[in-house]
Amino acid sequence: MHALQYELTLPADHDMRIVRDRVARRGHLLDAWPGLGVKAYLVRERGVHGSPVNQYAPFYLWNTVEGMNAFLWGGGFQGIADDFGRPPARQWTGLAYEEGVAADAPAVVAVRHRRPVPDGVPVGEVAEEAVRECGRPAAADGAVLAAAAVDTARWEPVHVSLWRHDAPEADGEVFQVLHLSAPERDRLPRGRQW
């Protein structure tokens, strides 16, 4: 499993209906993308759920590198670059994935939590803790799914969970989920990824 996310931080007075309309028109285009486990079309609006910014920040879980590369180099990502400029795309190696207790419910919000691995802490311990942390939100009321991954260039784990309600039982930045493309969600490997 591979995770990918890019963030488009927009002006404070940006009309977020533009992003919502774009997702409504184009979100379905990845509903059958080969190699894609999940794409959550995420937004943060200034003043909503404590967000200091307006932001469009889709988050992807890929089953295959080929699917991710086909998206990045084969045209799917070009639409973002054409409309907003080419943002940096962060990539993480998968550590864990779990279906939530509300796996069949539509996702309403997502929570993302990132933190660097402190110096001197064995990275294996951090990875094992990430697996345990992935299981906690997945078992909570209203959880749709939870994933953990790590950016080894920064030694920074990321935890992402999707929820069927807007009162998630997880700490981090809260995003609204505008659409969920999940063509190969059932193929995402469960549990620990090594």
Has residue 101 got a pLDDT over 90?
A: yes
What confidence score (pLDDT) does residue 185 get? Answer: 98
Per-residue pLDDT band for 169 (boundaries 50, 70, 90) equals confident
User: Residue range 146-157: average pLDDT?
Assistant: 95
Is the entire prediction scored with pTM above 0.75?
yes
Site of tokens 């940096």: 88
Has residue 3 got a pLDDT over 90?
A: yes
As a whole number of angstroms, the distance between CA 52 and CA 55 comes to 9
> Could you report the per-residue pLDDT of 177-192, keeping only the tens digit for each?
999 999 999 999 999 9
**Residues in Cβ contact with 93 at an 8 Å cutoff, skipping those fewer than 6 apart:** 2, 3, 149, 150, 151, 152, 193
User: Residue range 113-129: average pLDDT?
Assistant: 92
> Could you report the per-residue pLDDT of 27-80, keeping only the tens digit for each?
999 999 999 999 999 999 999 999 999 999 999 999 999 999 999 998 899 999
- CA of 37: how far to CAs of 5, 29, 56, 73, 85, in Å? 14, 14, 20, 18, 25
What confidence score (pLDDT) does residue 61 get? Answer: 98
Percent of the chain with pLDDT over 90: 93
- Amino acid in position 16: M
What confidence score (pLDDT) does residue 21 get? Answer: 97
> Could you report the per-residue pLDDT of 81-98, keeping only the tens digit for each?
998 999 999 999 999 999
What confidence score (pLDDT) does residue 167 get? Answer: 86
The average confidence (pLDDT) of the chain is 96
Identify the CA nearest to 70 among candidates 135, 118, 149, 4: 4
What confidence score (pLDDT) does residue 74 get? Answer: 87
Site of tokens 């973002």: 80
User: Residue range 113-117: average pLDDT?
Assistant: 93
